[in-house]
Structure 1
Amino acid sequence: MLREIQCFARVAERLSFSAAAADVGMSQPAMSQAITRLERATGVRLFERSAREVRLTAEGKALLAYAEQVIDLVQAFGAEAARLARPTIHLAYPPLVGTLAARIVRRLATRTPAVGVELRAAGRDEAARALADGEVSAAILATPAPARFVTAARFHVTVDHLAVPAGHRLASALKVGPAELAGQVLMTPGSRPWQGLPGRSRLVPDDFAAALDLVAAGAGLLPIPQLMVRTIRRDDVRFVPLEAGDLRITYALAWSKERVTPELMALVQAVQDALWTR
């Protein structure tokens, strides 16, 4: 009956048997027969027909909404079935490199055969745990990654700004260098202090957005990549250009050598391609 319901909806949209038949590649008699079968099955007359026009009956109008729901559900069923049949991998990534993660998903969706990617935003510790437990297929981790993982596709994110509280003496500075950081508390999201910067280091969870809350609270200053400066607007934090040499965070794609699949290798290639063409 599904085919007949689809024909009913198309005729109701076009109010023409010939136009509806042409839309779906049927003959007009075949379309008329499909509507007749549906009317017999339901016991309801769906259309008023004359030589000049086709009109929905009151009963046809009432049933049209249900027909459209049936068609939508069938289409949703097909789309979900196709998604479930498609190979899927799970990728953990730090929010800082979300644009790269999105680019990777798009690349894998257009390859043949397509590979689906489920993204999971996570800090370094959570991502490493999920990777070790098999909850994700791969993770983008700040290096050095744990030795038990294989890594590839390294890339760098330049750290060229300093987040300071809005009322801090450095908030109005045109730029900040190492000399101005002496005596300051510098927060480090992750596992290693910033190399080559003076000041007292304070390790905080690997989440720049959460670390900015600590900055606003006066807990310390935060070297931060311009990638985040472009997307964050806060009245309680100021971002000042930081000139501190080659300050950067290095990331790599990591995975467990015991869980290598063709889809994982496709992910590795997609990451490398995305980095090469960015």
Structure 2
Amino acid sequence: MLLMLREIHCFTRVAERLSFSKAAVDLGMSQPAMSQAVTRLERAAGVQLFERTARQVRLTAAGKALLPYAAQVIDSAGAFTAEAARLARPTIHLAYPPLVGTLAARIARRLAGRAVGVELRAAGRSAAARALADGEVSAAILATPAPAQFVTAARFHVTVDHLAVPAGHRLESSAKVTAGELGGQVLLTPGTRPWAGLPGRSRLVADDDFGAALDLVAAGAGLLPIPQLLARTIRRDDVRFVPLDAGDLRITYALAWSKERVTPELMALVQAVQDALWTR
């Protein structure tokens, strides 16, 4: 039997309303056209779907059995149409560090209003840079300095104003830790460069992977300067977060892309990032 979407839709609406005339009004059809559509479906299926009398319309046993399948056909057709529309629109693939996930989501919402789809990929700096170089993503939000082969724009800063220490550490009860109190401590750095201007010994850990770095803090391997955003959202019994006064300590990020792969959608992304940074 050929797929008869229109007729199947008519069948489900008549089954819902138990009235050809009401179903016809719902779908903007005449009653004879509605009746003919259901008759065509009955002939194609080889079964009677409704018992019709002058006063009543009822589903037959076959109609009741086939109704769930008809609903599935309608749902699948709708999903097909929606997915086709999504695939037909231009799509940007954006890699971003989990730390700035709220910004990435805001960017995606802005581009949706401009008929540009966004596929988000959370990734650390190294993984994001590789994906960008290989053309797997259209752009990436990277901690600076970005690799020299990429173009960058829309720089922004994330202030680092808290310190993660293991539970029971002597600094956990401090109202605020100063830079001078970090002398002799091991400071964990998620990235490629030590924290500028801080005393103590630096230990580099995986790029942008604050979760793994916090595991090291809990294990007593070092202390971790972090943004307030993480201190507010992460809850662990084995780690304490203490305010940190270490001057102008911050992580700088920028949107990066390959100059060989510039498209109108990419330029729309650049504009959306700039707009998201200036407005809420």
Distance between the aligned counterparts of 1:96 and 1:175, measured in 2?
Answer: 23
Q: Which residue of 2 aligns with 1:51?
A: 54
Question: What is the letter of the counterpart of residue 26 of structure 2?
Answer: D
What SS is found at the alignment partner of 1:98? helix
Q: Which residue of 1 aligns with 2:218?
A: 216
What SS is found at the alignment partner of 1:259? coil
Distance between the aligned counterparts of 1:43 and 1:147, measured in 2?
Answer: 68
Distance between the aligned counterparts of 2:80 and 2:9, measured in 1?
Answer: 15
Q: Which residue of 2 aligns with 1:201?
A: 202
Q: Which residue of 2 aligns with 1:232?
A: 234
Q: Which residue of 1 aligns with 2:261?
A: 259
Gaps of 5+ in 1: none
Q: Which residue of 1 aligns with 2:166?
A: 165
Shift of the alpha carbon at 1:221? 0.4
CA deviations 1:189-210 (Å, max 9, x no partner) are 0011111111111111111111
Q: Which residue of 2 aligns with 1:179?
A: 180
Normalising by structure 1, we get a TM-score of 0.96
Distance between the aligned counterparts of 1:120 and 1:182, measured in 2?
Answer: 38
Q: Which residue of 1 aligns with 2:123?
A: 122
Question: What is the letter of the counterpart of residue 20 of structure 1?
Answer: A
What SS is found at the alignment partner of 1:192? coil
Gaps of 5+ in 2: none
Question: What is the letter of the counterpart of residue 278 of structure 2?
Answer: W
Aligned counterpart for 2:34 among listed residues 31, 34, 37 = 31
Distance between the aligned counterparts of 1:174 and 1:49, measured in 2?
Answer: 81
What SS is found at the alignment partner of 1:67? helix
What SS is found at the alignment partner of 1:198? coil
CA RMSD of aligned residues (A): 1.1
What SS is found at the alignment partner of 2:136? coil
What SS is found at the alignment partner of 1:18? helix
Distance between the aligned counterparts of 2:170 and 2:259, measured in 1?
Answer: 50
Shift of the alpha carbon at 1:51? 3.3
Q: Which residue of 1 aligns with 2:147?
A: 146
Shift of the alpha carbon at 1:121? 0.8
Distance between the aligned counterparts of 1:213 and 1:53, measured in 2?
Answer: 70
CA deviations 1:125-151 (Å, max 9, x no partner) are 111111111111110000111111100
Shift of the alpha carbon at 1:73? 1.3
Normalising by structure 2, we get a TM-score of 0.96
What SS is found at the alignment partner of 1:263? helix
When structure 1 is superposed on structure 2, of 37-46 and 181-190 the one drifting more is 37-46
CA deviations 1:235-276 (Å, max 9, x no partner) are 111111111111111100000111101110010001001111
What SS is found at the alignment partner of 1:162? strand
Q: Which residue of 2 aligns with 1:60?
A: 63
Question: What is the letter of the counterpart of residue 255 of structure 1?
Answer: W
Q: Which residue of 2 aligns with 1:2?
A: 5
Shift of the alpha carbon at 1:49? 2.3
Distance between the aligned counterparts of 1:20 and 1:274, measured in 2?
Answer: 47
Within 5 Å, give how 1:93-112 maps onto structure 2.
93-111=96-114
Distance between the aligned counterparts of 2:155 and 2:261, measured in 1?
Answer: 20
Distance between the aligned counterparts of 1:81 and 1:8, measured in 2?
Answer: 25
Distance between the aligned counterparts of 2:27 and 2:238, measured in 1?
Answer: 60
Distance between the aligned counterparts of 2:66 and 2:124, measured in 1?
Answer: 51
Aligned counterpart for 2:88 among listed residues 59, 68, 85 = 85
Are positions 1:270 and 2:272 aligned together?
A: yes
What SS is found at the alignment partner of 2:202? strand
Distance between the aligned counterparts of 2:55 and 2:191, measured in 1?
Answer: 75
Distance between the aligned counterparts of 1:154 and 1:22, measured in 2?
Answer: 57
Question: What is the letter of the counterpart of residue 272 of structure 2?
Answer: A
Distance between the aligned counterparts of 1:109 and 1:15, measured in 2?
Answer: 40
CA deviations 1:138-178 (Å, max 9, x no partner) are 10000111111100000110111101111211122222111
When structure 1 is superposed on structure 2, of 166-175 and 149-158 the one drifting more is 166-175
Shift of the alpha carbon at 1:72? 1.3
Identity %: 87
Shift of the alpha carbon at 1:87? 0.9
What SS is found at the alignment partner of 1:258? coil
What SS is found at the alignment partner of 1:161? strand
Distance between the aligned counterparts of 1:84 and 1:147, measured in 2?
Answer: 33
Distance between the aligned counterparts of 1:22 and 1:157, measured in 2?
Answer: 58
